[in-house]
Structure 1
């Protein structure tokens, strides 16, 4: 069993920032990430035209400001490059392909015991830590609600996390469910590719 001061679950921006702050203070830590890369939601499950909705001065991680040459509302690719350089410069060493299957607190030893499966080797790994930080995010699991008749629908049904660009839907009828940031931007993208787009939402908007 490996012992560290802090165990961090998730190598998204929050998990990476936590590790960076601990590294600066010379506090031992380990970052366990089930995917094979950091910031996987940005790298694997974001549409091509995505950009940050907040100005760059509000989107910096600790100890690293954005370049003065970076646009105010940066693209996802720019942000991904920033995160990759952040990992390198702040000496963060996530352990990828580690799926945490349990985390229990031992009242006797006053330690967290974390069990993680190494998806690359198939072996289980054990960690003991004084503190546990869960930074797995609230959007890590896509959700498609059960809609009556959906199972008999002959067209394609995808979650926004699987959408990349509107080219495959050019000239087609597309229904977008939801008017959050993703729904509105994807609808706009579809329109740019000449898809016939309709949005449905649960609540009235003014």
Structure 2
């Protein structure tokens, strides 16, 4: 009977626990959560910097955030988000959904809240590999070490800011801030703000900040120029070449005076609790060596749930967990170490040949449906319906070209391949 440790009680950790708790081969499930509540990145707090225990604030949630994907593709395969009039929900509704999911499946009572994971070390025994996990109860200050058979790493990857290497950034005379610490737009009142990065949060926040700022400069290198009509006080610029004094210099030769450099440049994968003997390396945001972005090739009794991005996240977590649990209970066997290494190397070469950089090692997007199918096929389980990826793609296009109004669209899934969308009162069925 297996003892399992799950690090993190966000959506990935909750999903892992939900499946492990009903698995006959599992005798113990401990979920270690640093915060005082479940939900991970969906928890909103006005606090930034460090918490009461001197640990970095985990969440990057800002006050006005609504999902950038419709709820119809954000639930779990066996636990959809309840029906409502809107497709795009506020963060508090997503948090309430995760609480409901956790309570329904008896997960909440297994969460050790305010428990900080300090160190994870593999331990070789005669019967196989075990894991020593050291963690601290932040309330009592007491640390302990427990032994487990399997490790599920579910700590998310939207909490450690990525700071780009821009000449002059460290000596910039104005303010420098990362979106991780953004909560409300009022802090930018009357200022000229340079927003660097046009991912979902960069675009969203840039638009929100126009309501209080004198000028917003959105710097990005999107291959496809957004068709969104922005307010007059927002202009778009290519990448920043350098910062000097209080000025920003751009690739097109333009120079702008700015008060704030606001970095919406994404996040780093970070596993500070993994001892080097876990043999996981993160370099240029590529986590390796992982088989199928999931299994630690050097120590296959450790898995990472939720590493790929540009995916249908909660459904992918569910599929990854189902895959891995089936390898635990003997439904299928993972390939040999040599076979896993070969697969990982071939995939990296294939992605490089198609133009992916190392930093994009875990980006799925157009590859996601193929990835889901590969997991399901190997594990002999059900893949995700194609309608999920179709809606995700449709929503992403509308986000780019109609940022102001795309969240008014309403989606409805008709079957595994077909969906309906109501936009501006017009109903359209797509497949």
Q: Specify the alignment match of 1:9 in structure 2.
A: 7
Whose RCO is larger (CA < 8 A, sep 6+)? 1
Q: Specify the alignment match of 1:96 in structure 2.
A: 113
Q: 179-188 or 99-108: which moved more?
A: 99-108
Question: Do the aligned partners of residues 63 and 203 (structure 1) sit closer, same or farther apart at CA in structure 2, a change above 3 Å counting?
Answer: closer
Question: Do the aligned partners of residues 131 and 154 (structure 1) sit closer, same or farther apart at CA in structure 2, a change above 3 Å counting?
Answer: same
Q: Distance in 2 between matches of 1:98 and 1:4?
A: 22
Question: Do the aligned partners of residues 43 and 70 (structure 1) sit closer, same or farther apart at CA in structure 2, a change above 3 Å counting?
Answer: farther
Is the CA contact (8 Å cut-off) linking 1:177 and 1:183 kept in structure 2?
yes
Q: 142-151 or 12-21: which moved more?
A: 142-151
- Does residue 122 in structure 1 map to residue 141 in structure 2? yes
Q: Which runs of 5+ in 1 are unaligned?
A: none
Q: Specify the alignment match of 1:54 in structure 2.
A: 69
Question: Do the aligned partners of residues 112 and 145 (structure 1) sit closer, same or farther apart at CA in structure 2, a change above 3 Å counting?
Answer: same
Is the CA contact (8 Å cut-off) linking 2:137 and 2:143 kept in structure 1?
yes
User: Given the alignment, which residue of 181, 184, 191 partners 1:162?
Assistant: 181
Q: Secondary structure at the match of 1:150?
A: coil
TM-score normalised per structure 1: 0.87
1:19 CA drift (Å): 0.6
Aligned residues: 204
Q: Distance in 2 between matches of 1:203 and 1:52?
A: 21
- Does residue 80 in structure 1 map to residue 124 in structure 2? no
Is the CA contact (8 Å cut-off) linking 1:42 and 1:76 kept in structure 2?
yes
1:38-66 CA distance string (max 9 Å, x none): 22322142112222222212211364321
Is the CA contact (8 Å cut-off) linking 1:57 and 1:66 kept in structure 2?
yes
RMSD: 2.3
1:139 CA drift (Å): 2.0
The 5 A counterparts of 1:162-181 are 162-181=181-200
User: Given the alignment, which residue of 190, 193, 200 partners 2:212?
Assistant: 193
1:158-188 CA distance string (max 9 Å, x none): 2111111212212211111111111111101
1:112-170 CA distance string (max 9 Å, x none): 11111222222212121111100111222123234333333343222111111212212
Q: Which runs of 5+ in 2 are unaligned?
A: 45-59, 226-431
1:74 CA drift (Å): 1.4
Question: Do the aligned partners of residues 80 and 195 (structure 1) sit closer, same or farther apart at CA in structure 2, a change above 3 Å counting?
Answer: farther
